[in-house]
Structure 1
Amino acid sequence: VHVLCTLATAGPEPATADPAVVVLGVRADFTGSCLDLPELAAACTDGLFVLPPMSVAELRESITRPAELAGLTLEPGLVQLLLRDAGLREEPAAVAATAPAAGPGDTPSGALPLVSHPLMATWQRR
C-alpha cells in the first residue's frame, strides 16, 4: 500500500524520462478501502475504468484457455465443478441454444475470485 500511495502522489517526471503507467486492479468490494486513503482516492477516481462481471462463457474460457496454451489437459468435470462451486450454473446445450445469449453482467461480480483461488491451488498441487 505504501508503494501505491507513493506512486499516486509522485510529481511529474522530467521530460526526458520515459513515462510510467501504473495499473491498479481492485475488486469492487475493496474500492472503499482505497478511497479511504487520501493518497489513493484521486488515483482511484481519475481515469477509472470499471470492468463488468464476466459471463459464464468468459469465466469458462478463463479456466480452459490458459491450460490449452500451456499444453495441459483439464480433468473431466473440473470446469463444471469450479463454476458450480462459484454459484454458477451452465445451461445444457439444448436449453442454451434456445435461450437469449448470455453476456457480461449475467454472473455475480465476485465470481472470478471464487474461481481463481481454487485454480491457483490446483496449479500449485499439479
Structure 2
Amino acid sequence: MQGSFPFFPLASNFNHLDGRTWALLANTIQDWLTDNISLTRSDVWLWGREFFWMAFVAAFPGFPRREWPLWDPKIGMEGEFITYWMSDFGSGSEGPLKDIQNGVWRKFHDLATMLYLLPLFKDY
C-alpha cells in the first residue's frame, strides 16, 4: 500500500503540536476520501478514514464537546480510532492539548509507518 496514500509523505515542516497543521492534513485526507468514495470497501480507503479521524481529532481535540467544523457526511464515524475517541463522548478531550496531540501523533505515526513503507516526511 506504500503508494496508495496521496497525502503521504508529510511536509517536512509538519508539526504534530500545531492544530492548524493537523487541520490542513485532515482537509487533504477528507478531499481524497470524498473524491474516491467508490472505494469505501477497499482497505486503502478504510485506512485513509482512520488517518482522517486521527488528524481531525488532533486538529479539534475538544471534539465532540467543544467547537469543531462539519466534515463531509460521506465519511462515517467508523473505525477503531474514532470509536475509541467517542466512547464516553470523547473523554480523552479533557486532557492537556499537548498530551492529546502527542497521543494522537503516536497512533498516527505507528499506523503510517506500518502501512506506508516510504519515508514519512519529504526530504526538502
Structure with larger RCO (C-alpha < 8 A, sep 6+): 2
Larger Rg: 1
Question: TM-score, normalising length from structure 1?
Answer: 0.28
Question: TM-score, normalising length from structure 2?
Answer: 0.28
